[in-house]
Chain A
Amino acid sequence: MLKRLLYIQRYLKHLTNSERHYDAGSEQKAPRALEPIPTSINDIENRLRTEFDRCEDIVLRKFKIGGDSSYHTLVVYFDGLVDKEILTSTVINPLMIQAREIIRDIPLNRRSAYEIIKESLLSNCEVESSKDYRFVIERMLTGDSILFVEGLDEAFVTCSRGWEARGVEEPDTEATVRGSREGFTECIRNNTAMIRRRIRNPKLKMEPFILGRQTNTKIIISYIEGIAHQEVVEEVRARIKRIDNDAILESGQLEELINDAPLSLFPTVGNSEKPDKVAAKMLEGRVAILCDGTPFVLTVPYLFVEAFQASEDYYSSSYSSSMIRVFRFIAFLFSIFLPAGYVALITFHRDVIPFELLVTVAAAREGLPFSSFTEAFIMGLIFELLREAGVRMPRPIGQAVSIVGALVLGEATIRAGIAGAPMIIVTAMTAICSFIVPPLNGFMPIVRLTALVCANILGFMGIVIFGAFGVVHLCSLRTFGVPYLFPFAPLHGDDLKDSLVRVPIWAMLTRPALLRSEAKQNKFRIKLHHQKRDSQ
């Protein structure tokens, strides 16, 4: 096992090294040679037909401009990616019908045809022309329709994208009581629009990338120039450029590829489905990474405290949100240490339990067949199974699952004498607490179980050792050059304003220190330089 881990580590080391070489190489790589478009419509058609052989959804429409037999044209698009109404009214109709009058007045020659078509005939709002065959094919694959004209070595790319997509809905993952109910959709264009609608500012930048050799997925990194730290943006760019794989289907895959600590349990890249949340994070100086095909937008750098922040904290009074923040921290600790603490208490440190409680617990445990550790393990396992069953099932069945869980497993295990009532309470409490901090939910069962094992071996001593290791690990993490535990470690007094407590909006005078781009924040720059030196 250890051997294998070491092997993986060596592999990763090798990978990052080779990526560096690749990175350096890609910058020197010469731009791809232009692939000319054949001037003959028939040539084009043949070429397309061979290239898109057995592609049922491609449509090739051949017709004559204004009925003039010397001007054959070909419109190519993918069925389903194109809004046919727009295509008909802005491309086909003008060229076929309205062109007759123009052609009658001005006889066409090869050169003027290009200008007349582009400037007078195509009434689409986005028309581009290109001499590069590869480029137009790529555009066609994104949903544009392409117009080839007989005798021209240029093709027109007209925007007629339109497909069935999910509407803007309230995200299930981040339900709110107060605040915007809009959620991102699978369409990246909608998503950028939702951000743009919230930050109406020319400084809001959106830089496109195409990733995935096979999927050609569109990735957009978005940030606010002047607020986001330039070096973080560069780092994001560099890391995204390094990616060279077959497919990016969801931002989760991207997240894993640009993660600072790929082997860590803790997430160092954040994600959200809510445009207002992403906009707020960008306004704090973070960089958003949008990925086509998923409503989950990534934000970097991602600090540990962000797991405890909810967008609602900023929309309700600072007292209540501060209180809830503290509860969330407590809930986080509970969800990790509660079963472990319980087991440690009753198998090692009975002396600290008040006598009356001890009697109650002893009575509840009387006649149970398993040790408390086994019991905690079994109950934890049952809970994880129930949760998984509830998540994957359709909603009505999910309810049935929870009823089975609550009644059969909760009540019946006590009656049958498999588990004691205190253990059910501990498990339920742990479950509730683990739901309170959703971003950290993924790794919680692993940590909880490890803590439980430590507690079973050494009691509180084990829990303390385990906790110390955890804190050391958290301190060692960096997210895009920023210490993961900031503002706690390194402690930054000013930035504690939005950590355990949330001070009123009027008292938040400065942007988060480690993220802002002002020159006086030298500390952060040094850190990033350090990081860069490391990686180069």
Chain B
Amino acid sequence: MNRLFKLLPAAAVLFMTVLTTGCWDNRDFQKISIITALGIDLTEDKHVELTIQVLKPGTMKTSLEGGDSSGEKAFAVFSSKGKTVLEAHNNLLLTINREPYYGHLQLIVVGESLEKENIMKYLDFFERYPEMNRQAKMLTARGTKAEKILEAESQMEAIPAAHLRQIVENAEFTGKIKPLSLHELVSFMNLEGRHPVMSTIEFRYTSEKPTISDLHITGSAIMRNDRLVGFIDTIHTRSLLIIRGLAENMIFTIPNPESPGKMLSIDVSDCSVKKTVRIEDGRPAATISVKITGLIGEIQDGGTDLDVEVNKRIEKVFADVVEKDLKNVIDVAQTKLNVDFLGMGELFYKSMPNYWKEVKDDWGNIFPNMQIDIVVEVEIQHTGLISDPSKVR
């Protein structure tokens, strides 16, 4: 008995570790439905409409075994409504037989209707729910319900959500959208002096049966804090990414200075940005110096002879284009939308915290009048496999 008492503390420690490790459960695959994508919309009576794209493993099985699976989709879409997201989630169980499992959620599509509200109101559930994939990519459905996006089939993959997610991740090479995960979005909200930007996806009917080729990535949704204020296109998004220092690989198509009317594409291999802020005559000002290195990816005119002089002229045109792009997006931010989605406030917050404290509340009035200088430096390092274009004689 004595020995048993001695063992008691050890047993207690063990027992506590079991109890305090939090949520645990033992569920088999047969008992859960794997949710690949999730959409949230607001109905007219301000109820949350949750749409899920569920994997149907049974159809995957037949396709794995080489059986005929052409007729059946590998996924199903269900919706449910509720006053809160959790309620809608719970109501899902009235339609689907298995418990939804969000651990491998690929996408969260937010309907435009919802974004016009305070989006954080609805994201709380996603933060709170223990089995949520915080790496799920966020997309805004522009001009349509999220539900419609989830219904689109993929011509390449059995699971459309996987296809869409890969498209979003391809942004690394296109530089036209900023992939934003649930975790990133929430941490954006927590940062001062910045406003989140979400990629948007549009739906344009071209056929009866919607497919992913009917979906278009059209740029970004701009939010003031957590409320949608407007949209920008992919060119502006690219400029935005350059300013934020998030762009690396992208394509710039500029007019060929050697032969008017012909185009020339620059493949950007490296892009770095340096931002400084200062107070000028009591007004905030910033300098954005961008340094872009690229190579000539394509020249449309065969007559162009590349030499150092020509290269310099191309660089000049390129720098002008970049500068114009950047100015445009700053203009959109300052005058059109009046939202500091460029992150200028954050710069002050970080380098001049005292100043930031003073102007924080009035930033919406100060930002539009802020002077932002742009310095662009470009370098074309090489010309691909060939130098001069092949000539037709």
Residues of A within 8 A of B (CB): 346-348, 350-351, 353, 355-356, 358-368, 371-373, 456-459, 461, 465
Contacts and interface: CB of A to CB of B under 8 A. Distances in A.
B106 interface: yes
Contacts of A459: 24, 26
Contacts of B131: 351
Contacts of A365: 28-30, 57
B57 A366 contact: yes
A420 to B, nearest CB: 9
A461 B27 contact: no
Contacts of B25: 348
Contacts of B58: 363, 366-367
Nearest to B65: A363
Nearest to B102: A351
Contact of B27 (A347, A351, A364): A347
Given A367-B58, A458-B18, A362 B34 contact: yes
B57 A351 contact: no
Contacts of A350: 29, 101, 103-104
A423 to B, nearest CB: 12
Secondary structure at the A interface, as helix, strand, loop or mixed, is: helix
Nearest to A362: B57
Contact of B57 (A353, A359, A465): A359
A363 B18 contact: no
17 contacts: A347-B28, A348-B24, A350-B29, A351-B131, A353-B104, A359-B34, A359-B55, A359-B159, A360-B64, A361-B29, A363-B57, A363-B61, A365-B29, A366-B29, A366-B30, A367-B58, A458-B24
Contacts of A346: 28-29
Contacts of B101: 350
B200 interface: no
A366 B98 CA distance: 12
B321 interface: no
A351 B61 contact: no
A366 B56 CA distance: 9
B29 A362 contact: yes
Interface string B29-72: 11000100000000000000000000101101100100000000
A306 to B, nearest CB: 31
B104 A366 contact: no
Contacts of A353: 104
A446 to B, nearest CB: 21
Given A348-B26, A350-B103, A360-B64, A465 B14 contact: yes
A372 B61 contact: no
Nearest 4 pairs between A and B by C-beta? A363-B60, A366-B57, A351-B103, A365-B29
Nearest to B105: A355
A455 to B, nearest CB: 9
B2 interface: no
B187 interface: no
Contacts of A371: 28, 30
B263 interface: no
A287 to B, nearest CB: 34
B273 to A, nearest CB: 33
Nearest to A354: B104
B36 to A, nearest CB: 8
A353 B61 CA distance: 18
A153 B18 CA distance: 80
A461 B55 CA distance: 29
Nearest to B106: A355
A368 B18 contact: no
Given A363-B60, A366-B57, A367-B58, A456 B133 contact: no
Nearest to B61: A363
A347 B26 contact: yes
B21 interface: yes
B162 interface: yes
Contacts of A347: 26-28
A363 B106 CA distance: 18
Contacts of A359: 34, 55, 57, 60, 159
Contacts of A363: 57-58, 60-61, 64
A358 B26 contact: no
A9 to B, nearest CB: 10
A117 B17 CA distance: 84
A461 B24 contact: yes
Given A363-B57, A465-B14, A368 B104 contact: no
B191 to A, nearest CB: 26
Nearest to B27: A347
B21 A461 contact: yes
A364 B162 contact: no
Interface centre among B14, B61, B101 (most CB of A within 10 A): B61
A363 B55 CA distance: 9
Contacts of A361: 29
Contacts of B34: 358-359, 362
Contacts of B27: 347
B253 to A, nearest CB: 35
Contacts of B14: 465
A278 B162 CA distance: 59
Contacts of A348: 24-26
Contacts of B17: 461, 465
Contact of B26 (A351, A366, A456, A465): A456
Interface string B1-28: 0000000000000100110010011111
Contacts of B24: 348, 458-459, 461
Given A367-B61, A461-B18, 14 more contacts: A348-B24, A348-B26, A350-B104, A356-B162, A358-B104, A359-B60, A362-B34, A365-B57, A366-B57, A366-B61, A371-B28, A373-B26, A456-B26, A459-B26
Contacts of B104: 350-351, 353, 355, 358
B323 to A, nearest CB: 42
Interface string B75-108: 0000000000000000000000000010110100
A242 to B, nearest CB: 27
Contacts of A465: 14, 17
Nearest to A349: B103
A372 B28 contact: yes
A367 B64 CA distance: 15
Nearest to A344: B26
Interface centre among B14, B18, B28, B133 (most CB of A within 10 A): B28
A372 B31 CA distance: 11
A366 B104 CA distance: 17
B140 to A, nearest CB: 23
Nearest to A374: B28
